[in-house]
Amino acid sequence: MAWQDFLVKWPLSNFGENLCQGSGIGELMDDLGEALASGGDFKMLGGGQPAHIPEIDARWRQRMEEIMAESGVLEAVLGNYDAPSGSESFRQALARLFRQEFGWQVTAENFAITMGGQTAFFFLFNALAGRGADGSRKKIMLPLLPEYIGYSAQSVGEEFFEAIPAIIDKTGPHSFKYRVDFDAIDPGEDIAAICVSRPTNPSGNVLTNQEIERLRKIARERGIPLMIDNAYGAPFPGIIFSEVTPVWDEEMILTLSLSKIGLPGTRTGIVVAAPEICRAVSSMTSIVGLANSNIGQEIIRPLVESGEVLKLSAEVVRPFYEKRSQLAQAWVKQYFDEDLPYFVHHSEGALFLWIWFEGLPIPVKELYQRLKSRGVLIVPGDYFFFGLPEGIDWPHARECIRMSYTMDTETVKAGIKIIAEEIRAIYASVR
């Protein structure tokens, strides 16, 4: 039965309309899964798949062996439901770590576990924003667009994002950086929260301590939370190539994840917030999925208790990705012609290069298809530009791509060479 015929037979609710008919993040994950399953010669430069770092993989194997060797532990991890808020011992370990390292006044009640960071934001966004019981409509403000593709289709009702386009600062012949347009940030009564990823996905932009403090001040003055998506950030997995200070108080909501430190398959997200928020997240977990996966929490719990998670992040994970970023930038410089109008965003963290082709003669989705036909998967950038005020057309949104540098070096190098060939041919065709 065709999809449209199915909808005539069984029409969808508003919830179904938003979540059942595909999305940018869905297409991204489909391509990732198909490429990895095919075993073919795909150069997988799309997706957020973390690299398999040998030292990190070895540590997970060691932890699995320890879990299996200790009587009753494997049986408990696989055979028991945990509380919807997450493992008590894991949350206590997190609280001790953050008290000792950063002086945060937290207990286990300030932590809630979710089935990955994506689930955490689905819960948080829909709890805070959308249509209220009194008929009012609340929104989430995104102060630095482009922003994470995975947020864009999360509303269970009406769209609820209000995004502020970034200021584009060209910093060199082929480099640029997004900056927050603080003059445009003026949350009204309809704004429920301010949210930003740090490092910003897709661009790898890292908001400075001063920028975060300005956003905290704005949120505090409006009586709304500042939400920071810390999936790639400090203190773990620490994929930030500069020194930043992790910040939190009970007027903020911070999320972390085990995915980018190398445990994406365990689907383990961490919410750090006021106890009331954590109890609300726990309630949503119990309703939607009863409980969370235990395995990720148990794998990493001793590393949190000892502080080893911080050591691995600083001494293994960050240097690995920083070197990969430098290599990818060097290959872009090697293969892209100097006279091409391309600009690479400052690579300050995360797993990607964000490349802007100013005046690109074709839609970026057409470039995506051309590259896919040659076995190179990237992410077309227009998926990351959502929540713009009605009537605003920003051509920049159709001129960017996100490419990952987490695959093996030969794959990344070969993929960048093919991207350069396609871009060169596209611009040559209109000259």
Query: Mind listing the domains of the chain with CATH numbers?
Result: 3-56+313-429 (3.90.1150.10), 82-311 (3.40.640.10)
- Give the total residue count for the chain: 431
What token pair was written down for 405?
A: 């540098």
pLDDT given at position 371: 96
pLDDT given at position 5: 66
Per-residue tens of pLDDT for the chain, all 431 residues: 565 666 666 777 777 776 676 666 666 666 666 665 655 678 999 888 999 999 999 999 999 999 999 999 999 999 999 999 999 999 999 999 999 999 999 999 999 999 999 999 999 999 999 988 888 899 999 999 999 999 988 888 788 999 999 999 999 999 999 999 999 999 999 999 999 999 999 999 999 999 999 999 999 999 999 999 999 999 999 999 998 989 999 999 999 999 999 999 999 999 999 999 999 999 999 999 999 999 999 999 999 999 999 999 999 999 999 999 999 999 999 999 898 999 999 999 999 999 999 999 999 999 999 999 999 999 999 999 999 988 888 999 999 999 999 999 999 999 999 999 999 999 988 76
pLDDT given at position 10: 74
CA distance 118 to 150: 7
Whose CA is closest to 354, among 234, 155, 204? 204
Whose CA is closest to 277, among 125, 158, 135, 133? 125
CB 97 within 8 A of CB 271: no
pLDDT given at position 321: 98
pLDDT given at position 39: 57
Give the Cβ contact number of residue 389 at 10 Å: 9
Residue type, 416: I
pLDDT given at position 356: 98
Prediction pTM value: 0.92
CB within 8 Å of 53: residues ≥ 6 apart: 262, 316, 317, 320
pLDDT given at position 158: 81
CA distance 392 to 408: 40
Q: What is the 3-state secondary structure (H, E, C) of the chain?
A: CCHHHHHHHCCCCHHHHHHCCCCHHHHHHHHHHHHHHHCCCCEECCCCCCCCCHHHHHHHHHHHHHHHHCCCHHHHHHHCCCCCCCCHHHHHHHHHHHHHHHCCCCCHHHEEEECCHHHHHHHHHHHHCEECCCCCEEEEEEEEECCCHHHCCCCCCCCCEEEEECEEEEEECCEEEEECCHHHCCCCCCEEEEEEECCCCCCCCCCCHHHHHHHHHHHHHHCCCEEEECCCCCCCCCCECCCCCCCCCCCEEEEEECCCCCCHHHCCEEEECCHHHHHHHHHHHHHHHCCCCCHHHHHHHHHHHHCHHHHHHHHHHHHHHHHHHHHHHHHHHHHCCCCCCEEEECCCECCEEEEEECCCCCCHHHHHHHHHHCCEECEEHHHHCCCCCCCCCCHHHHCEEEEECCCCHHHHHHHHHHHHHHHHHHHHHCC
User: Terminus-to-terminus CA distance in the chain, angstroms?
Assistant: 47
CA distance 93 to 114: 16
CB within 8 Å of 210: residues ≥ 6 apart: none
What token pair was written down for 293?
A: 């996966």
CA distance 341 to 174: 8
CA distance 326 to 365: 27
